[in-house]
Amino acid sequence: MSAVRVLLCDDAAELRALLRWVFERGEDAEIVGEAGTSDAALDLTADLDPDVIVLDLQMPSLSPAELLRAMADIAPGTPIVTFSGFEPELVARAQARLVTLHIPKTTDLELVREAVVEVGRRRA
């Protein structure tokens, strides 16, 4: 079975590096791109066609609702997993129907990887 292609979108470079390390320890996920801004996230979503997008809702330049709508317009079949410090109620207000899964940033990173791979496998 091929690796799930993951796009990481978070404005914190250190967190992206840590997530990349966790995801790449196994053979079931491949990080195909990283974005630190909303604009970069949208460009990479269009260019890379990932199996799943891991998205921090607090990205520069767009509100969470705007970013989610734009991603859904660009890649309507691509699951979006929000990995954020926002509470689920705030995610719901930010267009939860566009979010496949919300994972709080307090979650163990190995569990994050497992959940993202599972979501990506459902699409692939």
- Tell me what pLDDT residue 92 has: 59
Under DSSP, the state recorded for 2 is P
Residues 64, 56: contact at Cβ < 8 Å? no
Residues 41, 67: contact at Cβ < 8 Å? yes
Residues 19, 45: contact at Cβ < 8 Å? no
Secondary structure (DSSP) of 15-53: HHHHHHHHHHTSSSEEEEEEESSHHHHHHHHHHH--SEE
Q: How far apart are CA 72 and CA 78, in angstroms?
A: 8
Q: How far apart are CA 44 and CA 9, in angstroms?
A: 10
* Residue 61 three-state SS: coil
Which segments in the chain show pLDDT lower than 70? Answer: 86-96, 124
- Tell me what pLDDT residue 95 has: 57
Q: How many CB atoms lie within 10 A of CB 82?
A: 26
List of domains in the chain: 4-114 (3.40.50.2300)
- Tell me what pLDDT residue 26 has: 86
